Amino acid sequence: MAKVQALDYDVDKYLEEQGYDDHFHEHEHGDKYKVSFISKYIFSTDHKTIAKQYLITGMAWAFIGAFFSLIFRLQLGFPDMDLSWLRPILGGWININSEGVGSLSPDFYYAMVTIHGTVLVFFVLTAGLSGTFSNFLIPLQIGARDMASPFLNMLSYWFFFLASVIMLLSLFLESGPFAGGWVAYPPLSALPQAMMGSGMGMNLWLFSLVFFVVSVLLGGLNYITTVINLRTKGMSFWRLPLTVWSFFVTAIIGLLSFPVLVAGFVLLLLDRLLGTSFYLSDIFIAGEPLHHVGGSPILYQHLFWFLGHPEVYIIILPAMGIVSEVMSTHARRPIFGYKAMVYSIIAIGFLSFLVWAHHMFVSGMDPFLANFFILFTLIIAVPSAVKVFNWITTLYKGNIHLTVPMLFAIGFVSFFISGGLTGLFLGNAPIDIQMHDTYFVVAHFHIVMGVAAFFGMFAGIYHWFPKMFGRYMNQTLGKIHFWLTIVAAYMVFWPMHYLGVAGVPRRYYTFDSFVNFSQFDTLNQIITIFAFVGFTAQLLFAFNFFYSIFYGKKVSERNPYRANTLEWSAPTNPGHGNWPGKLPVVHRWPYDFHKNGSDYRPQYVPLDPDERDVH
Amino acid sequence: MTALVATIAYVLLLGIIILISFINDVHIDMRRDDPDFRVKQYRRSAVGLLVFAALFFALTFGSAYWYKDFMLGYGPHKAASEHGPEIDSLFNITLFFTGLVFVLATAALFWFAFKYRHVRGRVASQFAHSTKLEMIWTVVPALVMTILVVKGIVSWNKITADVSEDEEYLEIDITGQQFLWNIRYPGKDGKLGAKDFRLIEPGINELGQDWTDERNHDDFFAEELILPKGRKIKLRIYAKDVLHSVFLPHFRVKMDAVPGMPTYAVFTPTMTTEEYRRRLAKTKTYQRPADPDDPESDPLWKVFDFELACAELCGIGHSSMRRVVKVVEPEEFDKWFSQQKSYYMENIRFTEHDPYKDKLLPQEISQRKSDFETRFNRALSAEEEAKRSIELRHVEFKTGSAELSPLSRYELDFVVEALKAHPNIRLEIAGHTDNVGNEEMNQKLSLARAKAVYDYLVSKGIAPDRLKTVGYGATQPKASNASESGRSANRRIELKIIK
């Protein structure tokens, strides 16, 4: 084969000669994008700024959530440890006994478990991941100047911000934040007398999440509209990068499922505040019978998981898109099975609506229903398997540049394999009888949608950081971050499978009462120690991230990875509007690497006379 | 102080890592135009990935082997229920397929990342699409899924099937509440009585049992879930306040307890606790002392018990909802079962909570009747005159009064029947009191009480000339008046048969 020619395309020339003139400057007269500090950095309508706002808010929540997990891991790994030194930070959440030994109170143990789950799922892996990258990449990769509605986009972030503020406030309530688990099953979540966190903490939790859903819906509407309407000339659907495909399908899933969650939450609020009985019946609590009859807690579970399950795909699909893009670019090789990838994304999106009740096999719902949910749940393994095999084949005979984003992309695939496969156990109802609500479940979903999604997110952050901030992150720190995280994550979550198979239930404050659950002290200590190692790695990442924003090495070339997608055709620090002059016009799919002897061919490069755009 | 030192050390460590990273990055930057240097960098990462994969596999298999004796379904932990092995075998089939995919895919992933890392002059393949390959990895997983789905669905429907009308099974009520399990057995009638949450009275009627439902009258509670080996069990699962979940890990049973919606779980235990312990005793793991700090403590297998745990977050005491589950041989179970005392009879009967406190239940009547008849006949046939006397055990009066309590009539009716059956005998009705109060009053009271019995019998058609009343006051105690129980025994009506 011919030697690969290292090319540097003169982007400006292509844009000037081939670009599409939307008369950007004549229309705008520069007014719309003339900005003050406030409108540039705070109430910005620029999708790139909004993306960064999502990212940084998401990171803040990630650290709060991770910090909580360390505290409750201390309780699980070292229950006898004196925690009185945490009193300056956690105050009354730490009980001090007569000997001066501090321990975590069970109320706040559960509060931390709950807030950890809630913020990681919603604020970090939904807003922080999909919010960041959908916002940042959709307009840049489809050749649009901004979202279809920049104002709604801004509103979307500020609703998220409002949700964040309310959630944050709930942490400072005297009775603590909500503590009944992130799934918030009634009656525990509906009755203030059931636990401390079910009082005002639960009201704030519900309000926060309702605002959060508003944010997701505003964002999602925008993403969908933008992808459908604002693709530049030549950008057909079959030429969209897999990132955009995944954000697009993610937004559709969100738009269809989140409203159901809100419906569920509103009914829960009515039960809580107005004495209705949607979810409540036959309850005797705190010494008296309640008036509620006829409601069903199972109804809530259906409504919750109708979002809850699609939600895990809302989390993982953007990561999948990012990984596909990063892998192809850094392996210098077309993504394998582009169309199969797109069809799998769509299939996963569709099937994600037909599997929700696999979370409820032993909830008391009619066992007959399980037949369908076993079927559809296990079918989802097929498109997932297709994606995994396509990623692996993308590495096959590649020319792999093992950069930091590439390492994280490989890590993602590893976690997705490890965590995805355990889903086949849980999705099969008979096995779920035994595994449901044990540590096996905790291991499964943390690996497949927690760690894997984070690895996708890290791959994306390291990959697009130069585009976002015009500077590079420190590579060595990036690699240390990768190695510490992959080792720590496996060491934390892999042993949990064993706990699960041994029957140890999740959400236990202590295992002391049970003969069979209290034999795993060493295992629990290992998990806790590696949780600290993993957290340390994230501190290094945070330092690297914020330091590099201001002092990182400056990006000198417009397209440092020699990638094909359109965002790299924009200037390194694009202003609002993304391209100063004409918009790029697309002539090919985004994965023409090593084609006909050239290292890469960006999408704006026209086809050679004898070349066809086939994939 | 230690915390401060630890924090400083930690921050220093971070600082050193960051410093080294910066120096290294400067080094990388200096050699950015040296393609060989980059190749070397990638090689280092690629080797790292390979080493990681090797360690990952080694640790995975090593740790799985290390912990196998604790894993339910492995080592000594055979499922202790009839349907358990079905779940375990589905688990193993799934483990086989997923294990295969896990090893192959993970190995391929890390191997390719190593093998196809960038080196100078490498040209990546154009290979981006193959219908054949993509068909293979769509169809093969689909076939595997078909096997798993079919097997899963068949097992599921078998396991979750309710009991049929005509089969024999033992029903047990398990009711969760914050933070304990109530375990109720059906008693001799084999049926659990009705209940309603509105009837719950803490400490008196924990489950809200409806005492007008006779099926409740023999139900009893147990502190442990005692099960007979080899008999089908149907757990009827309820919750009083919030969601709970009945989890019996060794029996592969789990079902949520839902307020307002009874659920059930059906299973058959196949191993007694003793048998399970003996299996455990054979493995080294379970021969270790239960308390690692005390080598003299009992070995793990000895302290083993089946346990009932809560598997649905129910509040701050979630992790304390434990009950011991004891599986015993059926004969032992039957013996235990027959010895249990009905909760209603022991704790509710004749209290203010008893809707039947003013009447006797049919079985009580027949029991008292046969008791009375036995004693009456014995007295009737006694040779010595002193033994021709019987005490009316259930005839009672209000304190200080001669008014018969409502329940007294049952025994008096037996007397009426006996007198009618033996028309040639006569009775002396003797009243006795304890020594509280003055002598004269007691004498009067005892006579009045005897008279009350006399009046009742006469009202039932006994000829007055067959009866004679006498009041003894406190003069003939049959027990010491020093204690209340003694005084209570002394307050009595006795009948003396006069032939």
pLDDT for the residue numbered A31: 47
The whole-angstrom distance between residue A24's C-alpha and the CA centroid of its chain comes to: 34
B482 domain-assigned: yes
Option in A179, A280, A553 nearest B29 (CB): A553
User: Distance between CA atoms of A419 and A425, rounded to whole angstroms?
Assistant: 11
| pLDDT over threshold 80, residue A597 | no
Q: Enumerate the residues of chain B whose CB falls inside 8 A of the CB of residue A522.
A: none
C-beta of residue B251 within 8 angstroms of C-beta of residue B306: yes
Q: Enumerate the residues of chain A whose CB falls inside 8 A of the CB of residue B260.
A: 280-283, 293-297
What range does the domain containing B490 cover? 362-498
Block residue for tokens 């409601």: A295
Scanning A358-474, the segments in alpha helix (DSSP H) are: 367-379, 381-395, 404-426, 429-435, 439-445, 452-469
What CATH number is given to the structural domain containing B223?
2.60.40.420
- Contacts with B, A 341-380, CB within 8 Å: 362-364, 367, 370-371, 374-375, 378-379
B371 domain-assigned: yes
Element of type H or E holding A490: helix A475-501
Q: Enumerate the residues of chain B whose CB falls inside 8 A of the CB of residue A475.
A: 24-25, 28
B165 domain-assigned: no
Q: Which of B285, B318, B348 is the last residue of a domain?
A: B348
| pLDDT over threshold 90, residue A476 | yes
Q: pLDDT higher for A99 or B499? A: A99
Task: Look at A115-129, A515-529, B119-133 and tell me which has the smallest mean pLDDT.
Answer: B119-133
A436 domain-assigned: no
pLDDT for the residue numbered A8: 74
pLDDT for the residue numbered A341: 96
A290 domain-assigned: no
CB contact under 8 A, A553 and B71: no
User: Distance between CA atoms of A279 and B214, rounded to whole angstroms?
Assistant: 32
User: Distance between CA atoms of A400 and A31, rounded to whole angstroms?
Assistant: 45
B186/B324 same-domain check: yes
Element of type H or E holding A308: helix A297-330
B4 domain-assigned: yes
Q: Is residue A456 classed as helix, strand or coil in its secondary structure?
A: helix
Percent residues over pLDDT 70 in chain A:
97
ipTM of the complex: 0.95
A112 in contact with B, Cβ within 8 Å:
no
Within 13 A of A440's CA, how many CA atoms are on the CB side?
25
A58 domain-assigned: yes
Count of domains in chain B?
A: 4
Q: Which two tokens stand for residue A44?
A: 């910005």
B384/B326 same-domain check: no
A271 Cα to chain B: minimum distance (Å)? 14
| pTM assigned to the model | 0.93
pLDDT in tens, B24-41: 999 999 998 888 999 999
A559 domain-assigned: no
C-beta of residue B246 within 8 angstroms of C-beta of residue B257: yes
A434 domain-assigned: no
Mutation target to probe the A interface, by most A beta carbons within 10 A, among B24, B180, B243, B287 is B243
Which whole number is the average pLDDT over A482-491?
98
User: Distance between CA atoms of A198 and A194, rounded to whole angstroms?
Assistant: 7
B466 Cα to chain A: minimum distance (Å)? 57
Closest CA to A432 of A491, A367, A494: A367
Option in A338, A498, A514 nearest B322 (CB): A514
A185 domain-assigned: yes
Question: In degrees rounded to 5, what are phi and psi of residue A594?
Answer: 55, 35
Closest CA to A564 of A250, A271, A326: A326
A492-526 b/e (C-beta count within 10 Å ≥ 16 → b):
bbbbbbbbbbbbbbbbbbbbebbbbbebbeebbeb
- pLDDT class of A145 with cuts at 50, 70, 90: very high
B371/B391 same-domain check: yes
Question: In degrees rounded to 5, what are phi and psi of residue A339?
Answer: -65, -40
B52 domain-assigned: yes
A328-358 b/e (C-beta count within 10 Å ≥ 16 → b):
bbbbbbbbbbbebbbebbebbbebbbbbbbb
Q: pLDDT higher for A153 or B358? A: A153
B57/B112 same-domain check: yes
pLDDT for the residue numbered A4: 53
Which whole number is the average pLDDT over A283-288?
94
Our CA dihedral for B472, B476, B481, B487, rounded to 10 degrees, sits at: -60
| pLDDT over threshold 70, residue A25 | no
B309/B387 same-domain check: no
Closest CA to B166 of B219, B100, B232: B232
Question: In degrees rounded to 5, what are phi and psi of residue B117?
Answer: -65, 160
What is the overall mean pLDDT for chain A?
93
Q: Is residue A466 classed as helix, strand or coil in its secondary structure?
A: helix
B181/B264 same-domain check: yes
B141 domain-assigned: no
Within 13 A of B199's CA, how many CA atoms are on the CB side?
14
pLDDT for the residue numbered A35: 63
Element of type H or E holding A102: strand A102-104
pLDDT for the residue numbered A2: 42
A329 has which bridge partners? none
B333/B407 same-domain check: no
pLDDT for the residue numbered A28: 54
B222/B310 same-domain check: yes
In SS3 terms, chain B reads as CHHHHHHHHHHHHHHHHHHHHHHHHHHHHHCCCCHHHHHHHHHHHHHHHHHHHHHHHHHHHHHHHHCHHHCCCCCCCCCCECCHHHHHHHHHHHHHHHHHHHHHHHHHHHHHHHHCECCCCCCCCCCCCCHHHHHHHHHHHHHHHHHHHHHHHHHHHHHHCCCCCCCCCEEEEEEEECCEEEEEECCCCCCCCCECHHHCECCCECCCECCCCHHHCCCEEECCEEEECCCCEEEEEEECCCCEEEEEHHHCEEEEEECCECEEEEECECCCHHHHHHHHHCCHHHHCECCCCCCCCCEHHHHCCEEEEECCCCCCCHHHCCEEEEEECHHHHHHHHHHCCCHHHHHHCCCCCCCCCCCCCHHHHHHHHHHHHHHHHHHHHCCCHHHCEEECCCCCECCCCCCECCCHHHHHHHHHHHHHHCCCCEEEEEEECCCCCCHHHHHHHHHHHHHHHHHHHHHCCCCHHHEEEEECCCCCCCCCCCCHHHHHHHCEEEEEEEC
B311/B394 same-domain check: no
| pLDDT over threshold 60, residue A485 | yes
Option in B3, B20, B322 nearest A85 (CB): B3
Query: Could you say which DSSP state residue A20 is in?
Result: B
Block residue for tokens 């910005």: A44
CB contact under 8 A, B94 and A424: yes
C-beta of residue B300 within 8 angstroms of C-beta of residue B265: no
User: Distance between CA atoms of A426 and A440, rounded to whole angstroms?
Assistant: 9
Angle value at C-alpha B442, between B437 and B443, nearest 5 degrees: 150
C-beta of residue A603 within 8 angstroms of C-beta of residue A7: no
Q: Find, in chain B, the residue whose alpha carbon is nearest to that of A296.
A: B260
B1/B91 same-domain check: no
B164 has which bridge partners? none
CB contact under 8 A, A431 and B87: yes
pLDDT in tens, B428-453: 999 999 888 888 888 999 999 999 99
Mutation target to probe the B interface, by most B beta carbons within 10 A, among A84, A402, A497, A518 is A402
User: Distance between CA atoms of B367 and B348, rounded to whole angstroms?
Assistant: 19
B461/B367 same-domain check: yes
What range does the domain containing A165 cover? 47-271
B209 domain-assigned: yes
What CATH number is given to the structural domain containing A243?
1.20.210.10
pLDDT for the residue numbered A573: 86
CB contact under 8 A, A421 and B156: no
pLDDT in tens, A496-512: 999 999 999 999 999 99
A91 domain-assigned: yes
pLDDT for the residue numbered B294: 87
Burial of B398 (0-12, 13-18, 19+ CB in 10 A): exposed
CB contact under 8 A, B105 and A507: no
- The CA R_g of chain A, rounded to the nearest whole Å, is 25
The whole-angstrom distance between residue B402's C-alpha and the CA centroid of its chain comes to: 48
Option in A110, A374, A392 nearest B108 (CB): A392
Closest CA to B286 of A524, A502, A493: A502
Angle value at C-alpha A277, between A274 and A281, nearest 5 degrees: 140
Prior bond of B179 cis (ω within 30°): yes
Beta-carbon contacts of B31 under 8 Å, excluding residues fewer than 6 positions away, are: B37
Q: Which two tokens stand for residue B74?
A: 């492995």
Return the number of other C-beta atoms located less than 10 Å from residue B337's C-beta. 18
- Contacts with B, A 490-509, CB within 8 Å: 490, 494-495, 498, 501-503, 505, 507-509
User: Distance between CA atoms of A546 and B360, rounded to whole angstroms?
Assistant: 83
Q: Which two tokens stand for residue A341?
A: 């990838």
A131 Cα to chain B: minimum distance (Å)? 29
Which whole number is the average pLDDT over A82-92?
85
B485 domain-assigned: yes
pLDDT tens, residue order, chain B (499 aa):
787 898 999 999 999 999 999 999 999 999 988 889 999 999 999 999 999 999 999 999 999 999 999 999 999 999 999 999 999 999 999 999 999 999 999 999 999 999 999 998 888 888 888 899 999 999 999 999 999 999 999 999 999 999 998 899 999 999 999 999 999 999 999 999 999 999 999 999 999 999 999 999 999 999 999 999 999 999 999 999 999 999 999 999 999 999 999 999 999 999 999 999 999 999 999 999 988 888 888 999 999 999 999 999 999 999 999 999 999 999 999 999 999 999 999 999 999 999 998 888 888 899 999 999 999 999 888 888 888 889 998 888 888 888 998 889 899 999 999 999 998 889 999 999 988 888 888 899 999 999 999 999 999 999 999 999 999 988 888 888 888 888 888 899 999 988 7
Percent residues over pLDDT 90 in chain A:
83
A71 domain-assigned: yes
B238/B211 same-domain check: yes
Count of domains in chain A?
A: 1
Which whole number is the average pLDDT over A421-435?
97
